[in-house]
Structure 1
């Protein structure tokens, strides 16, 4: 289970409509709405700087938040839309959806690699190349895994691990249907270069020319 779901602080917004939204923006806030979960929609506003910081951090629409609003119970939410200014590309409105514990959502879950110290390929000088430090999974809101563990202890140089070889947390499945790669162990560049140098150039046999091996020049007129 995840140890901590990040908090997202918001304020309940008084008034609705374009006038109230414009006033919120003048006050340095971004207006928004929280909907779903068998409860009435809740108009909110979030400090512009705080929202912009989280947007720049990435994965905003695939991150589960614990929304804290004064006078309201904490609720788990996920962003469903961010409206932006068409010229400045800055957030002007944000929509959140409440989640039940049984709700299915897409989240990026970090990958932890174990067994590096005993991997034969790495012991021989191979290099672990991480292709996906995170995997997007379909998970249950009430049972979000903290991480996905990938065991690389048996990998030799040239081996790789794909998603089909990974034991995922119970109830989780990838959002991508194809069998994509997670990591591989490759030979170090120095070893590859040394291997190229060890290859001896092919020898060319030199034949001493004699009168018998030199083709006679054609006589003029022939």
Structure 2
């Protein structure tokens, strides 16, 4: 199931060069360019506050956007570069690449959990730990899932779910070439601490050897 692709609104930038870019920044915009595909590059401006908000949300360079520019057809884009001020670290220019529906890209996909109510490990007081709340997959731009699902209905304490147990969408595959852990059920902290204490109590002080002290060398023991 394809996920909802967030919109990113931009304005077509009139004029090119450093002068137009400086004017855009004075107007509270971040200049950028959209390139790729069978269309000429399109100079754009994006509101500074909008861009900052999306950058701070994270995963900006691995998020597919539906770019909307007045006078142009909507197009799917992905960020390829964000240039920043050397001192203030604020965005000064941004590059986007157009994508066809068949283009393969790397995206982070959210992980959803099924079977929490049935899991014997959770019923026994275990704790579900999400090692990877998102997994990075290679997907096609025209068929991006909004999530992948893991099933923990049969997991006991100490069990885990790896990527090999996940049914991935058609055409999708992990970017990591190994069977990595996504989630696991751990023992509750109180139980773990009790186990540690029991290990310490197993030491028998009566088994610790003692050394019998004798008189100093050259001296005889008194009767």
TM-score between the two structures when normalised by the length of structure 2: 0.90
Q: Within 5 A, what are the aligned runs for 1:125-164?
A: 125-164=125-164
Which digits, 9 at most, give the CA deviation of each residue in 1:54-100, with x for residues without a partner? 11111111000000000111111001111111111111110101110
- Structure 2 gaps of 5+ residues are none
Aligned length: 215
Unaligned runs of 5+ in 1: 207-213
The residue aligned with 1:117 is: 117
Cα distance in 2, alignment partners of residues 186 and 150 from structure 1: 16
Q: CA RMSD in A?
A: 2.0
Which consecutive segments of 4 or more residues in structure 1 shift more than 3 A? 196-206, 214-222
CA distance in 2 between counterparts of 1:215 and 1:49 reads 80
Q: Are 2:19 and 1:25 aligned? A: no
Normalised TM-score (structure 1): 0.90
Residue in 2 that maps onto 1:75: 75
- Describe the shift of the 1:159–1:215 C-alpha distance in structure 2 as closer, same or farther (beyond 3 A): same
Alpha-carbon spacing, 1:172–1:194, altered in 2? closer, same or farther (3 Å)? same
In 1, the alpha carbon distance for the partners of 2:159 and 2:58 equals 31
Q: CA deviation at 1:6?
A: 0.5
Q: 2:213 & 2:52 partners in 1: Cα distance? A: 83
